[in-house]
Amino acid sequence: MLDLDSQDLESEAEIQISTEVSNENHINVTLPDLPDINEYVHYLEEIWDSKWLTNDGQFVQLLEKKLKEFMGLKKFLLVSNGTLALQIALKVLNIKGSVITTPFTFAATTNSLLWEGLNPIFADIHPETFNIDPRDVERKITPDTSAIMAVHTYGNPCDVEVIEEIAEDKDLMVIYDGAHAFNVQYKNRSIFSYGDISTLSFHATKAFHTIEGGALVTHDLEVEEKIKLIRNHGIDTSLEEVILPGTNAKMNEFQAIMGLCNLKNIEKNIQIRKLIYECYVENLQDLDVKFQKIQASQYNYAYMPVCFEDEKTRNQVQLTLSQRGYYPRKYFYPLTADFEYFKNKSNDLNRKYDLKTATDVSNSILCLPLYPTLSLVDTYKIINIIREVVS
């Protein structure tokens, strides 16, 4: 087990977790990364001078360019949030009928399908990676299936090679919900280089954020051009004409400058996240708990999911932590397949499907606090409380 002053918690770049006791009244599961306020104000002054607030502003263009370069991507398009990114992906690819997806995800994944008039068909998840199980995907394919929408859960890469083999064999489109997967790589290749379209979220709780925000990644020039149109009401600015029914998904300049500020600190912050993540694993691994099997060659440590022995233990850990000022989250619980409004809308179409693994994981999962300003003192307090309950 690690000591409080362990030198293992210091990186080669001399990045160290704070040992200061938190001044916060309580510790949430996430806390937004915020840059030096003076740096943000400097950008604000430029916005005030230019009066260019939105509509493909100079800082949106700059952020798009810098993120594209940072992640080694060729076609990368910013939008105002990650949910709209999913909806645009479905619209651009003209997805119809049924889409096979995971029930172990945030509501936006399933909701985007319902908003586009599609029928979500749920496949079970893998018990170690917590990602959609390609074997169950294959079992769920019917003549009505048009696409697979897989999620890189907690930023952990899906079995992309198998999923894409299945999609090619069955002539299906593939959309990856990469809301958590900022700068993640699989086999030293960007996870966003897979699929027909991948989406990202830059919500304030993510490892990299623009307050609200998102992006789409594609490899097809025609798809890229259509996304540009759809995100701006379908307006072709070169012709000054509306040429298709689009929506308003433009990122504004205030979001973009937050992203520019945060991008400067992202590598340091991910390193701190890694140290905290490893501290949890090192000090909890002898208990009856399960950690997600990470398949990334480069990971961002956005979340700290832990599965406990059963639902009762999970609930007791959450209760005890919250009583002492620490607020983990049952993320994701319940499964989206179990949302009451969804069950009503689908007339329980998916109830016949076996989602045993997803149900087991959802009933036992707890995401522990993890963010760059979480102190080592608080990290060890959380660890010790868990050990009190589980040991």
pLDDT score for 202: 98
Q: For residue range 51-91, list pLDDT tens digits in order.
A: 999 999 999 999 999 999 999 999 999 999 999 999 999 99
Q: For residue range 170-227, list pLDDT tens digits in order.
A: 999 999 999 999 999 999 999 999 999 999 999 999 999 999 999 999 999 999 999 9
Q: Which of 11-15, 205-209, 256-260 has the lowest mean pLDDT?
A: 11-15
DSSP letter for each residue of 142-182: -TTEEEEEEE-GGGPPP-HHHHHHHHHHHT-EEEEE-TT-T
| β-strand partners of 218 | 197
pLDDT score for 26: 87
Q: ω into residue 291 within 30 of 0, thus cis?
A: no
Contact predicate 122/337, CB 8 Å: yes
| β-strand partners of 235 | 242
Residue owning tokens 């999923």: 163
pLDDT score for 22: 54
Where would I find the beta strands (DSSP E) of the chain?
27-28, 76-79, 98-101, 119-122, 145-151, 173-177, 185-186, 189-190, 197-201, 214-218, 235-236, 241-242, 290-291, 305-307, 326-327, 365-367
7-32+265-390 has which CATH code?
3.90.1150.10
- Residue 270 C-alpha from the chain's centroid: 14
Higher-pLDDT residue of 13, 294: 294
DSSP letter for each residue of 178-245: -TT-TT-EETTEEGGGSSSEEEEE--TTSSS--SS-EEEEES-HHHHHHHHHHTBTTEETTTTEE-S-
Rounded Cα–Cα distance for residues 33 and 145 (Å) = 40
Give Dmax over CA atoms of the chain in angstroms. 68
Among candidate residues 107, 108, 104, 106, the one with its CA nearest the CA of residue 127: 104
- How would you label 31-67 residue by residue, b for 16+ Cβ within 10 Å and e otherwise? bebebeeeebeebeeebeeeeeeeebbebbeebbeeb
Overall size of the chain counted in residues? 391
Among candidate residues 253, 163, 148, the one with its CA nearest the CA of residue 210: 253
Q: What are the residues whose beta carbons fall under 8 Å from the beta carbon of 382, sequence distance 6 or more?
A: 27, 280, 321, 326, 368, 369
- Residue 175 C-alpha from the chain's centroid: 14
pLDDT at 2 over 50: no
- Residue 308 C-alpha from the chain's centroid: 22
pLDDT at 371 over 80: yes
User: Is 327 exposed, middle or buried (CB count within 10 Å of its CB: 0-12, 13-18, 19+)?
Assistant: middle
Is 7-32+265-390's fold the same as 37-260's? Answer: no
pLDDT at 13 over 90: no
Q: What is the DSSP letter of 132?
A: B
pLDDT band at 344 (very low <50, low <70, confident <90, very high): low
Contact predicate 3/11, CB 8 Å: no
pLDDT score for 12: 36
Contact predicate 184/67, CB 8 Å: no
Per-domain residue ranges of the chain: 7-32+265-390, 37-260
- Please report, in angstroms and rounded to a whole number, the separation of the first and last CA atoms in the chain: 15
Q: For residue range 84-127, list pLDDT tens digits in order.
A: 999 999 999 999 999 999 999 999 999 999 999 999 999 999 99
pLDDT score for 51: 97
Contact predicate 151/158, CB 8 Å: yes
pLDDT score for 135: 97
Q: Which fold has domain 37-260?
A: Aspartate Aminotransferase; domain 2 (3.40.640)
User: Is 74 exposed, middle or buried (CB count within 10 Å of its CB: 0-12, 13-18, 19+)?
Assistant: exposed
Rounded Cα–Cα distance for residues 93 and 260 (Å) = 30
